[in-house]
């Protein structure tokens, strides 16, 4: 897990956890985006090759192969179309895990609001305690008179320790303690938020790595499917040439020998050409009807069909050029 090692090294750096968390989130989003882009590019390539496959499939079935069937029927040769027990499909499986990378905030604004409330609460607490000590009754929303305020502030500004007290010093005491409490609350909340962000970011990064691994596996499987489709399309193009040539031979046979009711009446070499046409047509049709994929992976039957079709094609080439 090279990425883990890299990120652990980054964690050691003397930077704030919130910055580390943002870096982790940024790297997570980058990894996911790159993996998704590669998968989408592979899907686009497959879509193009599937389109080519469908195009040549429709062309062969509607022209070359149907023409071969008609010619064989004229020669009283029974051609049985191959069938597949499985419905045809080209599926890529499920590649959408729907992982979401959320941005994180430092919590500064919320911490500031909480600090303000804490400062106000501190000031109110000072005033409440002082008012009870000096016997001043405060009835909100009414504001005490100046004399009462001086008593409260004087108690806070030294009176509570037995001295005369100073109202100005009392106000300074309230302000400083409120500020200290506010700073403590602010830093405490930000620290909690940073720790939470750091945990969330690490968890997100771990999930993103797992997601990327799954996407890579999906991409690898899709590339196998794509390569298989390319081979099938290329081989069907080769088969089209051989089948067109065989159809020309069948036309020549029928033209020269006529449409005989009993297939056995044809010349032995003519019967051999019919059998070769049948074999080529069967292999071509098998390639087109056997499902290329099964459960999002290459169908083994399609691989076997491709290998058999290649063997037959190579055999006919060797006959031609031997």
Q: What is the pLDDT of residues 258-301, one digit of tens each?
A: 999 898 999 999 999 999 999 999 999 999 999 998 888 889 99
DSSP string, 104-142: ----HHHHHHHHHHHHHHHHHHHHHHHHHHHT----TTS
Regarding pTM above 0.85, the answer is: no
The reported pLDDT for the residue numbered 97 is 63
Nearest to 91 by CA among 230, 232, 296: 296
Which tens digit of pLDDT belongs to each residue from 116-151? 999 999 988 888 888 888 777 776 776 777 787 777
Which tens digit of pLDDT belongs to each residue from 1-33? 344 433 444 443 445 777 888 888 888 888 888
The reported pLDDT for the residue numbered 94 is 60
Asked if 49 contacts 92 with a C-beta cutoff of 8 angstroms, the reply is: no
The reported pLDDT for the residue numbered 93 is 63
Omega into 141 within 30° of 0, i.e. cis?
A: yes
User: Is the confidence at residue 172, as pLDDT, over 60?
Assistant: yes
Asked if 75 contacts 256 with a C-beta cutoff of 8 angstroms, the reply is: no
Which tens digit of pLDDT belongs to each residue from 192-242? 888 888 888 888 888 888 888 888 888 889 999 999 999 999 999 999 999
C-alpha dihedral (6, 7, 11, 14), degrees to nearest 10: 60
Distance separating alpha carbons of residues 92 and 187, to the nearest angstrom: 51
3-state helix vs strand vs coil in the chain, percent to 5: 75, 0, 20
The reported pLDDT for the residue numbered 3 is 45
Place of tokens 């980058």: 30
User: Is the confidence at residue 161, as pLDDT, over 80?
Assistant: no
Arithmetic mean of pLDDT, 68-89: 85
Asked if 292 contacts 89 with a C-beta cutoff of 8 angstroms, the reply is: yes
Bridge partners (DSSP) of residue 293 are 298
Distance separating alpha carbons of residues 151 and 54, to the nearest angstrom: 94
């Amino acid at each position: 897990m090279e990425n883990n090692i890299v990120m652990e090294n980054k964690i050691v750096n003397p930077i704030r956890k919130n910055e580390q968390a943002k870096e982790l989130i940024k790297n997570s989003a980058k990894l996911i985006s790159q993996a998704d882009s590669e998968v989408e590019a592979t899907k686009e390539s497959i879509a193009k090759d599937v389109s080519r496959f469908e195009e040549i499939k429709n062309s062969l079935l509607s022209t070359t192969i149907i023409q071969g069937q008609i010619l064989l029927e004229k020669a009283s040769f029974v051609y049985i179309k191959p069938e597949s027990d499985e419905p045809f499909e080209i599926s890529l499986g499920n590649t959408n895990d729907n992982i979401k990378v959320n941005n994180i905030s430092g919590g500064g604004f919320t911490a500031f609001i909480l600090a303000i409330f804490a400062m106000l609460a501190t000031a109110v607490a000072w005033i409440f305690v002082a008012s009870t000590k000096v016997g001043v009754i405060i009835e909100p929303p009414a504001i005490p008179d100046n004399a009462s305020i001086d008593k409260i502030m004087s108690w806070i500004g030294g009176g509570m320790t037995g001295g005369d007290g100073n109202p100005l010093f009392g106000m300074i005491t309230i302000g400083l303690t409120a500020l200290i409490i506010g700073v403590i609350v602010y830093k405490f909340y930000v620290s909690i938020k940073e720790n939470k962000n750091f945990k969330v970011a690490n968890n997100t990064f771990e999930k993103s790595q797992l997601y990327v691994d799954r996407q890579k596996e999906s991409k690898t499987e899709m590339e196998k499917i794509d390569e298989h489709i390319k081979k099938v399309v290329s081989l069907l193009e080769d088969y089209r040439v051989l089948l067109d040539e065989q159809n020309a031979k069948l036309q020549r046979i029928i033209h020269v020998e006529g449409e005989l009711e009993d297939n056995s009446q044809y010349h032995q070499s003519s019967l051999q050409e019919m059998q070769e046409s049948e074999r080529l047509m069967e292999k071509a049709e098998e390639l087109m009807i056997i499902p290329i994929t099964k459960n999002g992976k290459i169908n083994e039957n399609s691989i076997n069909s491709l290998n058999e079709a290649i063997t037959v094609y190579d055999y006919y080439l060797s006959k031609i050029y031997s």
